[in-house]
Structure 1
Amino acid sequence: MYKDRNERAAGAATTDERPTVMSRFNVKKVAVLGAGVMGAQIAAHLVNVKVPVVLFDLPAKEGPKNGIVTKAVEGLKKLKPAPLGVAEDAALIQPANYEEHLARLSECDLVIEAIAERMDWKLDLYRKIAPHVAPHAIVASNTSGLSITRLSEALPEALKPRFCGIHFFNPPRYMYLVELIATPSTRAEILDDLETFVTSGLGKGVVRAKDTPNFIANRVGIAGMLATMKEVEKFGLSYDVVDDLTGKKLGRASSGTFRTADVVGLDTMAHVIKTLQDTLSADTDPFYGSFGTPPVLKKLLELGHLGQKAKAGFYKKVGRDVLRFELDSEEYVPAGQKADEVYGRMLRKPAAERLKLLRHSEGPQGRFLWAILRNSFHYAAVHLASIADTARDLDFAMRWGFGMKQGPFELWQEAGWAQVAAWIQEDIDAGEALSKAPLPDWVFQGPVAEAGGVHTPEGSWNPTTGRFEPRRLLPVYRRQHFPESVLGSNAPRYETAGKTLHEDASIRLWTLDADQDGPFGGQVLIASIKTKMHAISPEVCEGLTQAVELAEKAYQGLVVWSGDEPFSVGADLQAMLPAFMAVGVSAIEDAEGFMQQTMLKLRYAAVPVVSAIRGMALGGGCELAVYSSRRVAAMESYIGLVEVGVGLVPGAGGLTYIARRAAENSQLSTDKDILKFLTEGFTAAAMAKVGTSALESRKLGYLLDSDLIVPNKDELLYVAINEAKAMADAGWRPPHRRMFPVAGRSGKATIQGQLVNMRDGGFISAHDFRIASLIAHVVTGGDVDAGTLVTEEYLMTLERQAFCELVQYPKTQERILGMLSTGKPVRN
């Protein structure tokens, strides 16, 4: 054990020995100061991860003193995308105001200030709160670019060592990046403690930034957007063509450049630009000449067109039509132009070939693409030493904060470090770049040139120390078996890690190396589905069956975890169609029967089966999850039975699960009317309702109170393995095979009457009525008396019959083919 926290922090920073003791800093309650857009949403995310939070703002001038906060909290329920996992959890945010409730700050372990970006306002607030902050608490300012050191000047000396910057990206629930910024007075262990909490408690990816204007992501990202706008003017391209070029085709966020600006808010973007303009100069930033507010942005701000929140920015929607702004006419014109396909093909080439083609392109779109990539490489290299510790921090910041598939250094390195560097310097020398500043010497000579890039297995380049440095070795990162890594780091990949026991084209059964997971490595079997979108094919079912049998013989548990999103989009319909065409419906019935038996095999396995869910668990993926012994789900998990979308009913046990859970819930209640407990499950399946978070999926019954919700996606496997091990250690036994009562024909009649009203009222189509009626038939147990005891196998037979009836129906076949060809549901 470390003698004290300072020694502990020093040890973590200076030795290669991996620390094993997690921080004892326990965040029992958080205060958020400021109920504006960011403050209220930060409070919402704290509630999502079960952290009690007090939200402060000014006392209202009229009405209840907490009126400003109360209004902000109510507004959270209406925002899209939803900041709350479950809207009613808004009630868990405790409102407060600075006049009456400052004493509550003493109860808080972390205070996050998130008021407007005004240095004078923030400093005044710090003077007000300082006497009330607990002596152990961390105080952090959520700012997008103000100097953290200057902000600390208003604090008493005793509080300065516990003060730092924390920069959440908007919207805080969904954006993975959080930047932490120290001042010269911030104690090292304070940042370690906060990084641990933000990583594991809030589920974020932490990058430590230097205290420079706009830190890392906004500094590089906004400079890149400004540079892009300059190149757009130079090459005369329209905004929709640019967004097509700079979205997914370029490995960036699908919204591209100008739609992203609209989403962020043009006023927010203008504020960040102004920070650059006010805090930098031509002497401190050689790209300063590019930081002028673009004329089109200036005009849109004058017109009050602030982007998506004002329903007009670079784009606006009129009915179903999307229009784009034209500066010359100050009018909106039809949008929807696409880039030339030749550049789409270029962007699909390997990195070296792609950049070579763009570099020598003669068309304006190709020259534009090369220009913006060159500008990003140039800017990142020139500023790396001043804004970040390592190239990894900069690349992670751009990936996590701006939705890039690769950071600028990763792409540069993949394309050939020396060749790309030579091209950039040629453009600088020819006056084609945005700045005359040469690339730093380390680009061309020394360790980086010798290694062929900034990322190596030893670590990433730190231009200040002149070394390749590994990631910080905080104990919290031991919970991440396969964290995100940068190109060139040669980090272990889950596809090949550990010990493989069986592998084919559909599934891999393996265990972690014992030394990678302490005592748990060889005791829990892992099943990783390998099919596209982790769809469940007959081969996957064979693999899962084999996994259960192997786990029962030699392991203490089985974890179903496939490495990345989605968990599973359901049954592989495309694989079933050839058999259906060749043999007929009997092939479908056999495939569904095999899936059902696989689900029962999981449910009644002699070892605990834990599904580790991240992203979509739809249809058969949902059924796989609910038939597991336990579920460990990332916060952003979207779970539901969606077969109605392809004209089918859940056929691998999903409806049987709904009926069984209704019976179990009714038996725990004094009210034995099964239909009351069945209604929500029936409605969710009949309407293909999907939980829009793990929290909402719990409300829908697809996750239980005993299941675990994990904030950080990279900790999912660690928690799932530990959960399987703990269940085994506690003496796990599978549930007994019990018969259970169903609602019967009277329950079905009640549901059917409601469906008739919906059909006759035009709320559902005749085909939807047919599907919902079959769902009702299965979940109520068919043509039996209310309270009749049935088995799971009996209900699964009804499921298969309904599934096979529908698969032969033309309107269902239209939905299936439509989904397979377009990826979108057909309503018929």
Structure 2
Amino acid sequence: MSQTIQRAAVIGSGVMGASIAAHLSNAGIPTLLLDLVPKELTEKEKERGLDVTDVSVRNRLATTAIEKLKKVNPAPFYDNKTAALITPGNIEDDLARIKEVDWVIEVVVENLAIKQSLYQQIERVWEPGTIVSSNTSGISINEMVSECGEEFKSHFLGTHFFNPPRYMKLLEVIPGEHTEPSVITTMQQFCEKQLGKKVVIAKDTPNFIANRIGTHGMLITLAEMLDKGYTIEEVDAVTGPAMGRPRSATFRTLDLVGIDTFYFVSNNMYEKLSDPAEKKLFKVPQLLEDVVANGWIGEKAGQGFYKKEKTSKGKQILSLNLSTYEYEEQSKPKGASLDASKAAKGAANKLKALMNGKDQYAEMAWNILKHTLIYSAEKVGEIADTIVEIDEAMKWGFNWELGPFETWDAIGLKSSVDRMEQEGLQIPAWVTEWIENGNESFYNKEQGSVFYYSDGAFNQLEQPPEEINLHALKAQNKTIIQNNGASLIDLGEGVACLEFHSPNNAIGADILTMIQQSMDEVRKNFNGMVIANQGRNFCVGANIMILLMEAQEEEWDEVDQIIRMFQQTMLSLKHFEKPVVAAPHRMALGGGVEVCLPADHITASAETYFGLVEAGVGLIPAGGGCKEYMLRLSSAFEKTEVDIQPEVNRLFETIATAKVSTSADDAKRLGYLRASDQVILNESHVIYEAKQAALRLATQPASAHHHSFDFQVPGREGKAVMQLGAMQMRLGGYASDHDVVIANKLAHVLAGGDVPPGTLVSEQYMLDLEREAFLSLCGEPKTQARMQHMLTTGKPLRN
């Protein structure tokens, strides 16, 4: 990197500015948050006898914004403690403090004159070399700094974050005419590595890439709906997962984003475009004018295209009838093409199944999609250099599973273009020329490498070394051994990766067998092993369907055998002589946690939701989860006189209430992860970083945990304290009778059974306690009911 970014300043403490500051603090970047000085005192300030010269008054907008961040849902912070890294201030008193930072981000109102005035103020106190950027979603980057000096312009660019910044991975970087290449490189590397973003380089055109294509697609969808008389529910049924789009589809997305925001973005396009035909596409329909005029602007107003209401049937989500403008009970659209899409696996197959239908929903999908594909093709070279930037912007900014050109490949490039031409549509010349030259797709995959269309030829897509792709490695014949549940893949440099690929990555006998076989292989031929995968979630736990079937048949020997196999595999993994690094991402629940616990080190994605959730299905952790956490607690306290009971109580409550972390940082706070475990903000870098950790560990002496030893437990007195806590929760109405049954079993295990406090026990003794408790709970009818409910609905049952 040509420059390091260690401190930042955000100017503008509205929702977006404050959220960007929060995410910078998530990355450990101290940040100055500045806003205007309030003109008037609040009633509370008057009561305290303050006046407008007081610092607390002058910094009020930024200070209030930081406090609000701690209460927002979904949470902008990984952990609210990081708010301490944000320093509030105001533009009048503190603008000169931008000399202390390496990056200044402007996030003020979308008004060109206001932005131009602010940049002239910034330039007066600006330290040459400091990078300055705007988070504008549509104003010209070059116009904003047109009155500034050449050196300032050379360090200025657009950095368009998507909302909410913590969760939305896309960051559009928009260079200006004078932006130095080294500044672009610095921002791209910093934002990808430190902030976990997927950076796409956009051109300085109205609404850049994602909002340009996304807004067009939304307006085409509205036009199709109004023309054919479809309902809101019908449009959302087609434009959600059936088309490889998010579940929020069209109208739920508009409610979440804010219909007024979408209205503004559409109008911005309409005003800035000069081509009459294109301008017409962005004309806001009367429907949007009406709902905005009514104040029905989405979730923030309590109603938009959908509205939550208490009815005689309880809380319901009603939808807007576009004929009467009344909210009505939703109707569920039914159609053969929707059914076919639902039954298909994978985004490409779902889309093909939908498009191949013969009903009105297949027709709707085609009429929306054909215009989106053509428009995307027309904009190549204008809004972005290649098809790759457009595809990635839509995937990361709008959560499409396939970008426009990947979509075109999925439905058949040549056949779809033939159909478009038969319907009289004008296809961009470069697309027809590409097809005439014998090409049948925009992308081509060969032996794990990806090639894409660019300037009339296939070009290889360069993968950064930090982005290890397991699918590509398998295509390069790097699989060492495999079965239906898992594979062992060669990552190079003497490190192998154990990848789960069972349904939902749930742990069954095939995965446990592969763990054992992988240890044999790594022992002989490798220096270390990473446990990771690139599924939607790392692992949602053990396969409870098999457990439930065996329990219902009262095959207790079989259940016992399943648990023993899990326990012994995890114990072998814990005492394995080669380094093991677990690399969880997204949901790592129940058995998914217990697979990570034996590892020497955990390299977790920042967005890892970690938790021992067995109580939700009427059970307790029995793959070593209880044992492992008690061993850690005992190790921490064995050399001191500190009472271990408060920490045991905290652990007991965390497991008994099936608490799941809201991030990897939160998993550390809950005690699920150790302080030494690593958190990586960019999910696509996690396997690479885990590999580096395995290489480092391979050069160090074997960890002490490779040897079995006895450890202290709280015993019968500790058990009584935990059971009392469970009973208090029952009396307070926070727990059911069956919750107390489960909690008592858990207390027995965590306490080490009915032994005197401080008794030394072995790992195997604790595993035996776990297994006995687990088996007895499997026999409980209410536990079996919880397991059945989870399998049927995907939700926990409180009984």
Q: TM-score, length-normalised on structure 1?
A: 0.90
Distance 1:737 1:347 in 2: 50
Preserved CA contact (<8 Å) 2:175 2:203: yes
Gaps of 5+ in 2: 46-55
Distance of aligned partners of 1:198 and 1:29 in 2 relative to their CA distance in 1, 3 Å threshold: same
Q: Between 387-396 and 332-341, report the one with greater CA deviation.
A: 332-341
Post-superposition Cα deviations, 1:764-813, rounded to whole Å, max 9, x if no partner, equal 11001100111111111111111111122111111111100000110111
For residues 622 and 355 of structure 2, the distance between their equivalents in structure 1, rounded to whole angstroms, comes to: 53
C-alpha distance in 2 between matches for 1:721 and 1:310: 47
Shift of 1:362: 6.1
Q: Distance in 1 between matches of 2:423 and 2:92?
A: 59
Q: State the distance in 1 between where 2:239 and 2:476 align.
A: 34
Contact 2:245 2:399 in 1 (8 A): yes
CA-to-aligned-CA distance 1:424-467 (integer Å, 9 cap, x gap):
223235xxxxxxxx2211111147752223224574334xx444
* Rounded Cα–Cα distance in structure 2 between residues aligned with 1:500 and 1:348: 30
Q: Alpha carbon RMSD of aligned pairs, Å?
A: 2.2
Separation (CA, whole Å) in 1 of partners of 2:469 and 2:126: 38
How many Å separate the matches in 2 of 1:267 and 1:578? 52
The 5 Å alignment of 1:390-409 reads 390-409=386-405
Aligned pairs for 1:692-703 (under 5 A) are: 692-703=662-673
Shift of 1:757: 2.1
Superposed displacement of residue 83, structure 1: 1.0
Q: Check the 8 A contact 2:538/2:592 in 1, yes or no.
A: yes
Give the whole-Å Cα distance in 2 for the aligned partners of 1:230 and 1:53: 44
CA distance in 2, matches of 1:316, 1:26: 47
Cα pair distance change 1:449/1:176, threshold 3 Å: farther
2:466 paired residue number? 479
- Report the equivalent of 1:439: 427
Relative to structure 1, the CA distance from residue 129 to residue 749 in structure 2 (aligned partners, 3 Å threshold; closer, same or farther) is same
Correspondence 1:388 to 2:384: yes
1:554 Cα deviation from its structure 2 partner: 2.9
Matched to 1:501, the amino acid is I
Cα 1:446–1:315 change in 2 (3 A) is: closer
**Alignment partner, residue 309 of structure 2:** 318
The aligned amino acid for 1:726 is R
Preserved CA contact (<8 Å) 1:352 1:416: no
Match of 1:256 in 2: 249
1:590 alignment counterpart: 561
Aligned partner of 1:704 among 650, 663, 674 = 674
CA gap of 1:662–1:352, structure 2 versus 1, over 3 A, is: closer
* SS of 1:384 mapped into structure 2: coil
Work out whether 1:451 is the aligned partner of 2:422.
Answer: no
Distance 1:459 1:360 in 2: 27
Q: Deviations over 1:28-56 (max 9, x none)?
A: 11111111111111111111122221111
1:381 CA displacement: 1.6
Cα 1:722–1:310 shift into 2, 3 Å: same
SS at 1:624's partner residue? helix
The match for 2:3 is 25
Distance in structure 1 (CA, Å) of the matches to 2:353 and 2:530: 45
Cα distance in 1 for residues equivalent to 2:499 and 2:320: 48
Counterpart in 2 of 1:370?
366
Rate the CA distance shift 1:565–1:356 in 2: closer, same or farther, 3 A: closer
Residue 190 of structure 2 aligns with an amino acid whose one-letter code is: F
Task: Tell me by how many angstroms 1:68 deviates.
Answer: 0.4
**Alignment partner, residue 100 of structure 2:** 107
> Residue 120 and residue 732 in structure 1: after superposition, are their counterparts in 2 closer, same or farther (change >3 A)?
farther
More divergent stretch after superposition (329-338 vs 241-250): 329-338
Q: CA deviation at 1:315?
A: 0.8
Q: 1:348 to 1:404 in 2, by over 3 A?
A: farther
User: What whole-Å deviation, never above 9, does each CA across 1:218-277 have from its counterpart, x for those lacking one?
Assistant: 001011101100100011111122111111111101111000000011111111111101
- Partners of 1:137 and 1:402 in 2: CA distance: 31
Aligned residue for 1:683, secondary structure, equals: helix
CA contact 2:414–2:435 (8 Å) conserved in 1: no
Q: CA deviation at 1:500?
A: 2.8
Task: State the alpha-carbon separation in 2 of the partners of residues 730 and 762 from structure 1.
Answer: 51
Instruction: Give me the whole-angstrom Cα distance separating, in 2, the residues matched to 1:30 and 1:752.
Output: 49
1:114-129 residue pairs with structure 2 within 5 A? 114-129=107-122
Cα distance change, pair 361–809 in 1 and its aligned pair in 2 (3 A): closer
Q: Which residue of 2 aligns with 1:340?
A: 335
2:278 maps to: 287
Q: How does 1:28-47 map to 2 (within 5 A)?
A: 28-47=6-25
> Could you list the per-position Cα deviations for residues 130-156 of structure 1 after superposition, in whole angstroms to 9, with x for gaps in the alignment?
133332221111111111111121322
Q: CA deviation at 1:695?
A: 0.8
From 478, 482, 492, the counterpart of 1:503: 482
Counterpart of 1:266 in structure 2 is: 259
For 2:160, what is the secondary structure of its paired residue? strand
CA separation in 2, counterparts of 1:427 and 1:193? 47
Query: Is the aligned partner of 1:730 residue 2:710?
Result: no
Aligned partner of 2:745 in structure 1 is 774
Deviates more, 1:451-460 or 1:225-234: 451-460
Question: 5 Å matches for 1:713-728?
Answer: 713-728=683-698
Task: Write the distance in 1 (CA, Å) between the matches of 2:684 and 2:639.
Answer: 36
- How far apart, in 1, do the equivalents of 2:159 and 2:459 lie? 23
**Could you tell me how far 1:527 is from its partner in structure 2?**
1.0
* In structure 2, C-alpha distance between the alignment counterparts of 1:594 and 1:352, rounded to whole Å: 38
Gaps in structure 1 of 5+ consecutive residues: 1-22, 430-437, 484-491, 513-520
Matched position secondary structure for 1:255: coil
2:581–2:601 contact (8 Å) kept in structure 1: yes
Q: Deviations over 1:707-743 (max 9, x none)?
A: 1111111111111111011011122334242222111
Indicate if the aligned counterparts of 1:358 and 1:370 stay in contact, CA closer than 8 A. no
Q: How many angstroms does 1:359 deviate by?
A: 6.8
| 1:341 positional shift | 4.2
> Using the alignment, how far apart are the partners of 1:52 and 1:196 within structure 2?
19
One-letter code of the match for 2:686?
A: L
Letter of the structure 1 residue corresponding to residue 32 of structure 2: V
Q: How does 1:185-334 map to 2 (within 5 A)?
A: 185-283=178-276, 286-319=277-310, 320-334=315-329
Match of 1:461 in 2: 453
The superposition leaves residues 612-648 of structure 1 with CA deviations (integer Å, 9 ceiling, x where unpaired) of 1111110011011122111000111110000011110
Instruction: Tell me by how many angstroms 1:552 deviates.
Output: 2.8
Determine whether 1:141 maps to 2:110: no
Q: Structure 2 vs 1, CA of residues 648 and 346 (structure 1 numbering), >3 Å: closer, same or farther?
A: closer
Q: Counterpart of 1:94 in structure 2: which amino acid?
A: T
- The answer to whether 1:564 aligns with 2:559 is no
In the alignment, is the contact (CA less than 8 A) between 2:337 and 2:353 conserved in 1?
no
Query: How far 1:25 sits from its partner (Å)?
Result: 2.1
Structure 1 equivalent of residue 653 of structure 2: 683
1:184 corresponds to which of 167, 177, 183: 177
Query: CA–CA distance in 1 between the matches of 2:693 and 2:350?
Result: 45
Match of 2:104, SS? strand
1:296, 1:391 → 2: CA distance?
33
Corresponding position of 1:742: 713
Deviates more, 1:719-728 or 1:752-761: 752-761
Deviation at 1:212?
A: 0.7
Tell me by how many angstroms 1:761 deviates: 3.0
Is 1:420 paired with 2:416? yes
**What is the TM-score when the length of structure 2 is the normalising length?**
0.93
What is the match of residue 153 of structure 1? 146
Secondary structure at the aligned position of 1:691 is classed as coil
Q: How far, CA to CA, are the matches of 2:689 and 2:546 in structure 1?
A: 33
Q: Displacement, 1:353?
A: 9.3
Helix, strand or coil for the counterpart of 2:585? Answer: strand
